Structure 1
Amino acid sequence: MDRVTHLALCWRVERRDGVAIGLTDHDRDLEIDGMVYRAAPGMTPSAIVRGDGLDPSTMDAKGALSSTAITGRDLIAGRWDGARVAIFATDWADGGASVALGEGTIGAVDLADHGFTAELRGAAAALDRPATEATSPDCRAELGDRRCRAAMAGRRRFARVVAADEEMLTLDRAEPSPDAWGGGLLRWFGGANGGFESAVTVSSGMTVTLRSLPPFAVEPGALVEVIEGCDKTIATCAGRFGNAANFRGEPYLPGIDLLTRYPGG
């Protein structure tokens, strides 16, 4: 029984923007493999069930919003959505020997009075997704990814926000070609929105229209990175990017309207 009292649960959480934190239910901070796990006694997991089947493995973790590392404001803004989580037990009295209990990503987050509950989705949860892609006239690749292969050098530009009017932002530099930033991304650097991304619907000259407002108020002078977009049509792929060989769509595949065609129709 003496050994049981030496066990502590630890969480390593890595956000999509690269920020990583460590938490433990121990009453003191622990240093494991060069990382400090801050004491967070309010963090408690649900029962951890592991099996050899193919059912998606999930669990819940509950915690108090008392830590400066995880705040209700960041949870509501989605800063922790999709973060990778590794949970393990460690013997804090025996040199930090640890046993992995599970890992996954943060899914749904529910807020309550002075606390939160986060769903952790295991690797097997990916089996719920479709196994193959459906055909489409538009490209299914993302601009610049390993399937698209379009060179993105020179298609990313830093700018500062001059003014903001709802979803429309005015920047201090113009787009390189008409609607070049439409369908692209705008990344926020620094300030309250630092680390977030906003989808760009359309651009014109020095203005961009966002699909939705960022979580926090936009401050004039904020530094952003604007990434060129693509409307995913074969015409744009061939004309603007010269990349028709890597187009991941079927623009000439007959659609359902083929069933309604008849001679002389």
Structure 2
Amino acid sequence: MAGIDPALQAHLEGGLTTVCHAWKITRKDGVCLAFTDHDLPLTFEGVAFRADAGLSARAIAQTTGLSVDNTEAVGALSDASIREDEIEQGRFDGAEVQAWLVNWADVSQRWLQFRGTIGEMKRAGGAFRAELRGLTEVLNRTLGRVYQKPCTAVLGDKQCRFNAGLPGYSITLAVDIEDRGRSFIWDALPGFDPEFFIRGRLEVLNGTAAGLFGLIKHDRTKGKKRVIELWEPIKGNVSTGTQVRLLAGCNKQMETCRLKFDNLLNFQGFPDLPGEDWVVAVPKSTGPNSGGSLR
């Protein structure tokens, strides 16, 4: 087996083996969870692997070409390990996964069998199933520019380069009134015009939903109240007093980039692309034809 530790290979060829499997899941928020199917905990690479997690995995399908290596992990939902509410909140989406074959009698003898990310996760009956995707999965992603009039960048990313944390483009405050995690109401948001936060983000800063965010659908005034409505509810408990941050929105238009953000040099759209009327325009036999615009 290519890449396997020689000591572990010799152990496997010896006939009587003491091997088990170990998994480590590292979420994007930095939380690390580690499990083993051995009946006692293991420790290596500075990580403690729990033995009572009830996690198992199917055989790993690996290839030597560019097709995606894949497997599936199955385990029990538990407040101490993988919780149902955290799956619902998307905290395991895209998490990094490593899987080893380990000699539990001598953990220095181990083989990293699989490395990839978590894909689709399903839960039912107190258990979960997680699709594990190999490193070659990223080769399936479409790369390249899209030629269109609106900007293709995300506000604040490395293409946009705008610092969304500048004064006047965000506000941090406590939740006053909330409706099912989707609508948030305040008496006022001084200094911010109506619709200023449309297409922006609402980020949760503390509480059990800390780290979650929602995209803003509407920002409007209703009487003397300011109403922020999200496209989808925050999948966590956001109650009165929870600290949130509102980030300015961008509609991807050149005028907005120039006037609202003063960031026209980094505009990633093509506002001068001809429209559909130009594409279907044809020469006319009547009237002057000086070679100018047909529109």
Moved more, 90-99 or 122-131: 90-99
| SS, match of residue 228 in structure 2 | strand
Gap regions ≥5 residues in structure 2: 1-11, 285-293
Moved more, 3-12 or 224-233: 3-12
Q: Could you tell me which of 260, 267, 279 is aligned with 1:247? A: 267
- Kept after mapping to 2: 8 A contact 1:201/1:209: yes
| Aligned CA distance change for structure 1 residues 144 and 41 (closer, same or farther; 3 Å) | closer
Q: Could you tell me which of 51, 60, 72 is aligned with 2:84? A: 72
Matching of residue 161 in structure 1 with residue 175 in structure 2: yes
| Letter paired with 1:200 | I
Counterpart for residue 142 of structure 2: 130
Spell out the pairing of 1:114-125 with structure 2 (5 A cutoff): 114-125=126-137
In 2, the alpha carbon distance for the partners of 1:253 and 1:222 equals 45
1:139 Cα offset (Å): 1.0
- What is the TM-score normalised by the length of structure 1? 0.89
| Aligned CA distance change for structure 1 residues 173 and 70 (closer, same or farther; 3 Å) | farther
| SS, match of residue 139 in structure 2 | helix
| Aligned CA distance change for structure 1 residues 197 and 49 (closer, same or farther; 3 Å) | same
Counterpart for residue 232 of structure 2: 212
1:165 Cα offset (Å): 2.8
| SS, match of residue 39 in structure 1 | coil
Aligned residue pairs total: 265
Counterpart for residue 287 of structure 2: none
Counterpart for residue 26 of structure 1: 38
Q: Could you tell me which of 189, 199, 204 is aligned with 2:215? A: 199
| Aligned CA distance change for structure 1 residues 111 and 246 (closer, same or farther; 3 Å) | same
- What is the TM-score normalised by the length of structure 2? 0.81
Moved more, 12-21 or 187-196: 187-196
Matching of residue 88 in structure 1 with residue 100 in structure 2: yes
- Kept after mapping to 2: 8 A contact 1:14/1:20: yes
1:94 Cα offset (Å): 1.7
Matching of residue 234 in structure 1 with residue 254 in structure 2: yes
Moved more, 141-150 or 119-128: 119-128
Question: Which structure shows the higher strand fraction?
Answer: 1
| Aligned CA distance change for structure 1 residues 172 and 85 (closer, same or farther; 3 Å) | farther
- Kept after mapping to 2: 8 A contact 1:27/1:41: no
Matching of residue 186 in structure 1 with residue 202 in structure 2: yes
1:254 Cα offset (Å): 1.4
Larger CA Rg, structure 1 vs 2: 2
| SS, match of residue 61 in structure 2 | coil
In 2, the alpha carbon distance for the partners of 1:54 and 1:172 equals 56
| Aligned CA distance change for structure 1 residues 153 and 112 (closer, same or farther; 3 Å) | closer
In 1, the alpha carbon distance for the partners of 2:234 and 2:144 equals 33
Deviation digits for residues 51-70 of structure 1 (CA, Å, limit 9, x no counterpart): 22111222111112246210
Q: Could you tell me which of 105, 117, 122 is aligned with 1:105? A: 117
| Aligned CA distance change for structure 1 residues 169 and 53 (closer, same or farther; 3 Å) | same
| Aligned CA distance change for structure 1 residues 66 and 243 (closer, same or farther; 3 Å) | closer
